[in-house]
Structure 1
């Protein structure tokens, strides 16, 4: 499967997480942090089970696994902290919108080059389209700082996925066990507040399994597969498909209203992602 297509599929699958998570919260009564913990831990456990069957080695990847787990926990934890101190729209705007900018700046500093015009155009189209789509503006210093920290964690998570691993170690092993570690860290955070438990029912269990498999295990497997042949800047930009997919599903399933701004924002996002699919200029 081509790298760019893997990234696109990952972004679309991530977008299903919003509705699944919302339905799971209603069915289980768990807090958003607890749901994120279950998502990471169980999604990682599924991937880890596959790696155990494959008898994959982890002895040379312990440091990378721990680092991946911490970054994944920071990404999820800071995002939900931003939502709690602000709102979903502003948290999504700052988190998802800041990640490609951070990666572009870091990459420019590392290479000691100025990004080309096409890179800036796709960033402006992507972030502008995201702002119109979600309709959010930064809501307070605390929420913005948490969202920026979440965006920086996602950017770091993506750039880390591009770095070579030790001989004999596969990225799938790092992702699997890293998510288990990240989920465990979020469980510790969720235990501090209310809603750490999960009310079990046929509906909540079904949604939990779906949440762990589709927008987590499968989506992140595709994401890291796509990173093999794409830059971190492209990967974070294609991640804008997540809020776009979530919005489309909300309109189709939850009957959310559609505005002109949302339509224009969706078009700009698709243009930005289309430009991201082009080979980056050297």
Structure 2
């Protein structure tokens, strides 16, 4: 596996987060056009994501290492946080689900990284984290008021954040085969979700919008985004990755406004700007670190 520099790792996370920001909107549209619930959407997302990554590996002449038992842990975490995320969307809307999930994630990741991995952000990193959380506080508060987010939706979002943070810290510690981790995690996650998806309803309505959305969800916010995410974890500490990933929150909030009529106030837009500035600082910091190496 070719080593990834810190600068390239920051770029990978930025692209992955941008792609993730469209995943919630695609899932929400699938609730309407595909007749699927949160578990069904998550199941198809993982199955198609695994298929796309395997096809890409074959086309590029790459290979996957033998699946490690560690992918079971990754797959369980992915099953929890992905389904909880879509459940939060169903309860509270795209904006609330995303900003609460992504707001809690870096805090939990920072705690896990500090306790389990002995990682430190330093003054610049801590300042950027504080600014990002301040931006998310503005965005979350306004989105919750405007979107009418309930306690159930927020609870699902916090559960999603815990699962996401766990996968991030665990994958940072075990970073030997990023692509194999992604594919294995997708397959294990799909196996975990299958019984619940069968009970909820696993077959989508076959129409052009639902098929297009499923293919997009599997290819871009899943195969592409997670492939880049696990590669980035070989170069950057877990907390930096999670904070840069917060660009997803701003993107998803904007899509919630554009596609679903979810309104954000001037304070919420200010929160988006503050969050984006924090991500830019951390990305530049990663590049500066790479330049000194």
Q: Please tell me the TM-score bracket, short chain as reference.
A: 0.7 to 0.9
The 1:110–1:71 alpha-carbon spacing in structure 2 relative to 1, beyond 3 Å, is: closer
The structural deviation recorded for 1:249 is 2.9
The 1:240–1:50 alpha-carbon spacing in structure 2 relative to 1, beyond 3 Å, is: same
Q: Is the 8 A contact 2:28 2:94 kept in 1?
A: no
Q: Tell me the alpha carbon deviations over residues 88-109 of structure 1, each in whole angstroms, 9 at most, x when there is no partner.
A: 5544333211111112122333
**Structure-2 separation of matches of 1:6 and 1:24:** 27
**Structure-1 separation of matches of 2:36 and 2:188:** 20
**Structure-1 separation of matches of 2:22 and 2:91:** 24
In angstroms, what is the RMSD of aligned CA positions? 2.9
Residue from 92, 96, 105 that aligns with 2:98: 92
Q: Is the partner of 2:285 in helix, strand or coil?
A: coil
Aligned to 1:42: 48
Aligned to 1:179: 186
Alignment of 1:148 onto 2:158: yes
Residue from 103, 107, 126 that aligns with 1:101: 107
Alignment of 1:136 onto 2:144: yes
**Structure-2 separation of matches of 1:6 and 1:246:** 18
**Structure-2 separation of matches of 1:147 and 1:254:** 19
- In terms of fraction of residues, the more helix-rich structure is 2
**Structure-1 separation of matches of 2:279 and 2:172:** 20
Aligned to 2:133: 127
Residue from 199, 222, 244 that aligns with 1:192: 199
The 1:213–1:173 alpha-carbon spacing in structure 2 relative to 1, beyond 3 Å, is: same
The structural deviation recorded for 1:214 is 0.8
Aligned to 2:4: none
Aligned length: 276
Structure 2 stretches lacking a partner, 5+ long:
1-6
TM-score (ref. length: structure 1): 0.85
**Structure-2 separation of matches of 1:91 and 1:205:** 24
The 1:86–1:211 alpha-carbon spacing in structure 2 relative to 1, beyond 3 Å, is: closer
Aligned to 1:162: 172
Q: Is the 8 A contact 1:161 1:224 kept in 2?
A: yes
The structural deviation recorded for 1:49 is 3.2
Structure 1 stretches lacking a partner, 5+ long:
none
When structure 1 is superposed on structure 2, of 13-22 and 74-83 the one drifting more is: 74-83
**Structure-2 separation of matches of 1:89 and 1:249:** 8
The structural deviation recorded for 1:229 is 1.8
Residue from 13, 22, 25 that aligns with 1:7: 13
Alignment of 1:231 onto 2:241: no
Q: Tell me the alpha carbon deviations over residues 26-72 of structure 1, each in whole angstroms, 9 at most, x when there is no partner.
A: 2111112211111112111211233456473543x330222221111
Aligned to 1:79: 85
